[in-house]
Amino acid sequence: MSADTDTIFCYHCRTHHPKEEMRLLVTKTGKRWRCLKSIEATKQGKAAREAYGKQMTETNKAEARSKARLLNAHQ
C-alpha cells in the first residue's frame, strides 16, 4: 500500500491515515503523528488500551504475512 500526500503515517498503529484523523504529539523522543482512534483508545482505560493494542498487533502481523507471501511468490 503506498500512501499519497493526503495521508500521514501513525507511529502508534503503523498505518497511514487521512490528515484530518491525525494529531501531532510531543513525546520523549520528539514530535510524532498519531491517529485520533489511538489517542481515544488511551483515554478509555487499561482494558481498552490493551484490546486496541492487540487488535493493532494482529493487523500488523497479518500485513507482514501478506507481504512475505507476495515476496516469496515473486522469488
Q: What does 19-55 look like in DSSP terms, one character per residue? A: GGGEEEEEETTEEEEEEHHHHHHHTT-HHHHHHHHHH
Q: Where are the domains of the chain?
A: 7-74
**pTM of the predicted model as reported, rounded to 2 decimal places:** 0.57
- What is the C-alpha to C-alpha distance for residues 50 and 47, in angstroms, rounded to an integer? 5
pLDDT, tens only, 18-58: 999 999 999 898 999 999 988 887 788 888 878 888 888 89
What pLDDT, on the 0 to 100 scale, is given for residue 27? Answer: 87
pLDDT band for position 1 (50/70/90)? Answer: very low
What pLDDT, on the 0 to 100 scale, is given for residue 4? Answer: 57
Q: What are phi and psi of 42, to 5 degrees?
A: -70, -20
In what helix (H) or strand (E) does residue 15 lie, and over which residues does it extend? strand 15-18
